[in-house]
Amino acid sequence: MYKLFNLKWTILGALLACIASGLLYTLETNTSPSKQIGYLVLLGCGYGFTLQTGIIVGQAASPPEDTAATSALLTCNIP
């Protein structure tokens, strides 16, 4: 396993995304914009921690000449 990969960020991101998704479910039409924005920022951090870690690991594991192709495969979901 590569030293750059850090599983705790992926787990933290998944937890944040789950918590933020639950909080977003509680929103109503009269919920204050500050709560809405706060929940969305929390959700964005969760997705960012989770998704970005895999891309970084893929780039670190590939040779320099294949970094662009690796990034494209990971972000565009090409089988």
Query: Does some domain include residue 53?
Result: yes
Query: Does some domain include residue 71?
Result: yes
Greater confidence, 33 or 79?
Answer: 33
Domain carrying residue 32: 7-76
User: What's the structural domain count of the chain?
Assistant: 1
CA-to-CA distance for 52 and 41, rounded, in angstroms? 16
Query: Does some domain include residue 1?
Result: no
What confidence tens digit (pLDDT) does each residue in 56-66 have? 888 888 899 99
Query: Does some domain include residue 70?
Result: yes
What confidence tens digit (pLDDT) does each residue in 8-56 have? 888 889 999 999 999 999 999 999 999 999 999 999 999 988 888 778 8
Query: Does some domain include residue 63?
Result: yes
CA-to-CA distance for 20 and 46, rounded, in angstroms? 8
Query: Does some domain include residue 43?
Result: yes
Q: Does residue 79 have a pLDDT over 60?
A: no
20, burial (CB in 10 Å: exposed 0-12, middle 13-18, buried 19+): buried
